[in-house]
Amino acid sequence: MRYPVIIALDPPGGEDPVSWSVRIIDSLQDEPAGYKIGLPLLVRSGPKGARDIASVMPTNTIKVADLKLADIGPVMVLTASTAVDAGYTHIIAHPFMGIEGGLDELIKYLRDVGAELILLASMSNPGAARYFDQFIDEFVVMGARLGVWGYVAPATRPHIIRRVREVLKKTPNPAAKIVSPGVGAQGQRPWAAIKAGADYEIVGRAVTRAEDPAEALERLYGRP
Ligand code: XMP
């Protein structure tokens, strides 16, 4: 891993999602720390396509399924298992459902299969400031109770990342990971989230829409 970056694979309409993703992974290999698929890819490629994509990701990379789960426990488990069975190791879920009958069942399942939970602490879109941001402290403490691997906090609003890191310091796992989307197409500069306390920056279009994704990644982050 040369860059603390997770590449978001969101295939544009009209592209075959599997060959588009494989081309990008071939270009980047294990230069980024990981790759992330989301619902646009999973819905269009189906579980078999998602599995074909995961199978070409280097073994030492984090494989995130950004499902943004928000349902009762058994249904989240059903959805998560589609991604886990396809080879994804980290699953993103919303916190608003709470623990009992929701996230407790999801994390139990993920533990049983050796996968990890990433909880949204807030989101990168400006509208998240109105609702999500009111509960950041509670969501971080909730994640600590559950023993999550990490949190999503927005690169677009570094003060939220700092807040998550500050609240984490008072929990049993202050080194829980923070992953931050919003670099490039959503306006934030590379490294801004890392400087604010994140472990990984999530980058999509600024790299994946470039003719040469490896060159775009190096142009954004510099030669390590
Ligand atoms: P771009 O192309 O904007 O892609 O670099 C960003 C990727 O990150 C996802 N995204 C989020 N995921 N919480 C998340 O869990 C967020 O607040 C958030 N904001 C953006 C987006 O779906 C895309 O894959």
Each residue's pLDDT tens digit, 31-61? 999 999 999 999 999 999 999 999 999 999 9
Taking CA atoms only, the protein residue closest to ligand 1 atom 23 is: 8
Pocket of ligand 1 (CB under 6 A): 8, 10, 38, 66, 68, 92, 120, 123-124, 152, 154, 181, 184-186, 202-206
Which positions are annotated as active-site residues? 68
What number does the ligand 1 atom closest to the CA of 185 have? 3
Each residue's pLDDT tens digit, 117-146? 999 999 989 899 999 999 999 999 999 999
Q: Give the CA count within 13 Å in the CB-facing half-sphere of 43.
A: 8
CATH number 3.10.20.30 is the correct assignment for the domain at 3-221: no
What number does the ligand 1 atom closest to the CA of 92 have? 15
Token pair listed for 37? 């698929």
Handedness of CA 209, 17, 40, 87 (dihedral sign): negative
* Percent of the residues in the chain that have a pLDDT greater than 90, as a whole number: 96
Q: Which helix (H) or strand (E) holds 53?
A: helix 39-56
Cβ contacts of residue 99 below 8 Å, gap of 6+?
142, 145, 146
Q: How confident is the model at residue 124, as a pLDDT?
A: 87
9 contacts 24 by C-beta, under 8 angstroms: yes
Each residue's pLDDT tens digit, 165-203? 999 999 999 999 999 999 999 999 999 999 999 999 999
> What is the residue whose two structure tokens read 């139990």?
108
Cβ contacts of residue 180 below 8 Å, gap of 6+?
124, 152, 153, 154, 155, 161, 193, 194, 196, 198, 200, 201, 202
Ligand 1 center–CA 33 separation, angstroms: 16
